[in-house]
Structure 1
Amino acid sequence: MPEPGVRIKGSVCFCYGSGDTCTFFFEGIASQIASSGYAVYAVDHPGFGLSEGLHGYIQNFDDLVDNAYEIFAKIEGRPEVRGLPSIILGQSMGGAVTLKLHLEDPSEWDGVILVASMCRISDEVRPPAPVLKVLTCMAKFLPKAKLMPESDLAELAFRDPAKRKMLYEGGFHSILEGEPDDRIFAVFDDIITWLDSRSSSA
């Protein structure tokens, strides 16, 4: 939440990526957005962050979407944000959740922000076709087996080596967390400017 006495301009509901947690989000990204006058909310996806269950196990991707929709619908009814612009922000895998949420009900949101959104799997990290066939077959018989990529995804995501060592293991596409501070602040400035434009016109 913004500082006491600061007028709330709108709400920002955040869907993070597969290597993140709500705790990490609220220590960094959320505080930046909240300091600009927005009520910020997030939820740990089932099987991700600090939620219970086998980490990364998704029986049905729509379960993540339905869970986020249910929680964010409750948030929109809270008295402090009722009637204010409602924005959804998705990062990495959370961007895929965000896209599905928005496409299922575009009228629910006043705006959408996608940061390094997972729209498809990059060819650079996709296993070769024969390996993919074997893994798909294995998943039918061992649906809860955790298959990890060989390459360190943090190596691909974090430009600043010091930031690479700080963040949640397996995090990637982290333009808001893993870049040098000047670049992070430039991205935040663009996000806040865009949020303010949406809030003033709503």
Structure 2
Amino acid sequence: MSEKPGPPPNFWGDMPEEEYYASQGVKNHQERFKTPHATLFTQSWIPIEESPVKGIVCMTHGYGSDTGWLFQKIAIAYAQWGYAVFGADLLGHGRSDGIRCYMGDMEKVAGASLHFFKAMRDSETYKGLPAFLFGESMGAAATLLMYFQDPNGWDGIIFSAPLFVIPEPMKPSWWRLTAYGLLFGLADTWAVLPDNKMVKKAIKDPEKLKIIASNPRRYTGSPRVGTMRELVRVCAFFQQNFDKVTIPFLTCHGTSDEVTAPESSIQLYEKAKSEDKTLKLYDDMYHSLVQGEPDENANRVLADMREWLDARAEKLLQSRTSS
């Protein structure tokens, strides 16, 4: 009786990593990076072409995910457009340090990734180039915290289905958080809150759902008490401080997103004081706009992101070259 085949080593299959990245026109580099908080697993995707790099984009993935699986589709696309792209597995995710999917202190989670991103942004190779942040889903919440921690270091942010408002069906009940809170922090890391099957609600394309579900590093346990408590807190903080956002940004959301409310993007757009702000709502699209939608939809989202990014990077490069 033959054994059931296991998942492929990479989302693209068995092709060796170096060969795959070369076929996509990018160079990939992986390393462990020490921060004041913990050690992160980090990656970069750099265009192979000799043309000057247009800028850098520092990317943050969503809850339970990592930079090493299908999230790379976004990173590789940006690198193919001519950007140096950097990503870090969030604390408690992928191959970074920390208890799996425990984010009891989102300021610390954001600060660890920001430490790596600033090192790349301020390096001799990329210093002075247009520098952008990118955040997807819960990673967008971490990204917005990075902006509040370092508001003057970035030229723009792209948000993909950001988590700034938790949809009612996804909210942990008040009584559960209160009850566990009475245990003086002992329950903070417990994975005991109801799992609302977020992956199935996030992915429209069934074939892509199979690929995402095969990620060997994807967190499949129940949400931890401290993680949900902290996400409730930071979402309330964002809603009280959207008016302090002044950076140029693009925020994208599917109108059928049941994982992060489209109101997240709408409220940010309406309340932010940014002079340059763009809202894109995609009819009938789900949560995962690039990895989870049919190719036609995903390519439409990527085209909008590229148009927004190229226009601002080009303008910034021209102004810095002439000054």
- The TM-score normalised by the length of structure 2 is 0.58
Asked if 1 retains the 8 angstrom alpha-carbon contact of 2:58 and 2:117, the reply is: yes
Q: Secondary structure at the match of 2:159?
A: strand
Match of 1:181, as an amino acid?
A: D
Structure showing greater radius of gyration is 2
**Aligned equivalent of 1:178:** 292
Counterparts of 1:156 and 1:170, CA distance in 2: 16
Aligned length: 202
Moved over 3 A (4+): 135-139, 168-173
Which runs of no fewer than 5 residues in structure 2 stay unpaired? 1-45, 221-258, 260-286, 317-323
Unaligned runs of 5+ in 1: none
Q: Which has the higher contact order (CA 8 A, sep 6+)?
A: 1
Given the superposition, is the C-alpha separation of residues 128 and 46 from structure 1 closer, same or farther in structure 2, using an over 3 Å criterion?
A: closer
Q: Which has the higher strand share?
A: 2
Shift of 1:52: 3.0
Instruction: Evaluate the alpha carbon distance shift between residue 114 and residue 180 of structure 1 in structure 2; reply closer, same or farther with a 3 A threshold.
Output: same
Matches within 5 A, 1:1-202: 1-24=46-69, 27-137=72-182, 140-167=185-212, 168=215, 169=218, 173-202=287-316
Residue 119 (structure 1) shift: 0.7
RMSD (Å), alpha carbons: 2.0
SS, match of residue 131 in structure 1: helix
Secondary structure of the residue aligned to 2:152 is: helix
Between stretches 130-139 and 184-193, larger displacement belongs to 130-139
- Whose helix proportion is higher, 1 or 2? 1
Verify the 8 A CA contact 1:152 1:170 in the aligned structure 2.
no
- d(CA) in 2 for partners of 1:139, 1:185: 48
- Checking the alignment, whether the CA contact within 8 Å between 2:181 and 2:187 is kept in structure 1 is no
Structure 1, residues 27-76: CA drift from partner, whole Å, max 9, x if none? 41111110000000011111112223320112311111211221111001
